[in-house]
Amino acid sequence: MKAENFNLTDYLSRIGFDGEVRPDVATLTQLMQKQLRSIPFENTEVQAGRIPSLTPEEIYTKVLTNRRGGYCYEINGIFAMALTAIGFEWHFAGARPMTYAVRRPKTHMVVIVRIDGHDYLCDTGFGGYALRAPMMIEEGEITQDGDRFRLELIDGEYVLSSLVQGEWQRQYGFAMQPQEWIEFSLANYFNATHPDTIFTQKKLAIIQTPNGRKILVDNELKLIENGELEKLEVEYKRALKEYFGLELFVGIE
C-alpha cells in the first residue's frame, strides 16, 4: 500500500511516535496503539452523503494533511502505508462484522502482519470494543490495557470476541487469505450508501485513550476509563469537536 505523497516522518508526527522504527513487534505495537489514540474512527463524510475515496493519495491528504479520521479502509489504509514504508511484511484480509443481528458480508478490512514466522492481527479501523494492540493469530485469550479479547477458530475462520461489561461479544470473523486493495471498493460503496449499515444510520466517532475509549453515537457519549463507564447526553457537533478534535463536513446537522 503506497501513496505518492506519503511521508513517514509526517505520519509519525501525526500519531505522536518518537524514536527509531524497525519492522519488529515493539514498533508494530507502538504504531497501532498510538494511531488508535490519535486518529479517530469516524463516519462524518458518509453522514454528509459522500463516498470516501479509496485513492491512497486522497486518503493521505484527508487523514494526515487535513487531520481527520475515517473508517476501516481509510485508517487501516494509512496504517498499511506506514508498514510498507518501514519494511513490514503484511497483507489485507476481509472480515465479516458480527455486531449486527443478521449475518453480514465481509465488508470490514483488517491488516495481518508477519514477523519472525508469526502472524499478527492488526486493526485500527473497527471502532467500538476493538483491539488495542496487535494480537498474535492463534486460539486463546489475551488482555490489552485491561480489556480482554479472544480468538477462536470456527469453520476455518478466526473469530475475534471482546469482553464487554462482563459478556463476550463477537466482533468479526476473518480468514487468512490475502485480499487486494481494489477488492474493497464494493464494500466501501456498500458501507457508505446502503440504508442497513451503521455508517448511514448513525453518526459515529470513536477513539482510544491509554486506559479506555471514547464512543460517540449520535447524541450519546460513552466515556470508558479503567473499566468504569459514564454515559452522557451531548450535542453531537460540540462533542465531536471537544472530544475528538473534528469539525463537521458541510451537510451534517
The DSSP element (H or E) to which 114 belongs, if any, is strand 108-115
Quickly state the pLDDT bin for 103 (edges 50, 70, 90). confident
Task: Tell me the pLDDT tens digit for each residue of 141-198.
Answer: 999 998 999 999 999 999 999 998 889 999 999 999 999 999 999 999 999 999 999 9
CA distance 67 to 50: 18
Q: How deeply is 165 buried, as exposed, middle or buried, from its count of CB atoms within 10 A (0-12, 13-18, 19+)?
A: exposed
Task: Tell me the pLDDT tens digit for each residue of 47-73.
Answer: 999 999 999 999 999 999 999 999 999
Q: How far is CA 28 from the centre of its chain?
A: 15
Taking alpha carbons only, the member of 131, 126, 136, 162 closest to residue 40 is 126
What percent of the chain lies above the pLDDT cut of 90? 90
Q: Report residue 159 as a C-alpha cell.
A: 473469530
* Domains defined for the chain, CATH in brackets: 8-244 (3.30.2140.20)
Average pLDDT, the chain: 95
Check if the beta carbon of residue 8 is closer than 8 Å to that of residue 27.
no
The pTM for the full model equals 0.95
Contacts of 229 (CB under 8 A, 6+ apart): 165, 222, 223
Quickly state the pLDDT bin for 104 (edges 50, 70, 90). confident
**119, pLDDT greater than 60:** yes
Quickly state the pLDDT bin for 127 (edges 50, 70, 90). confident
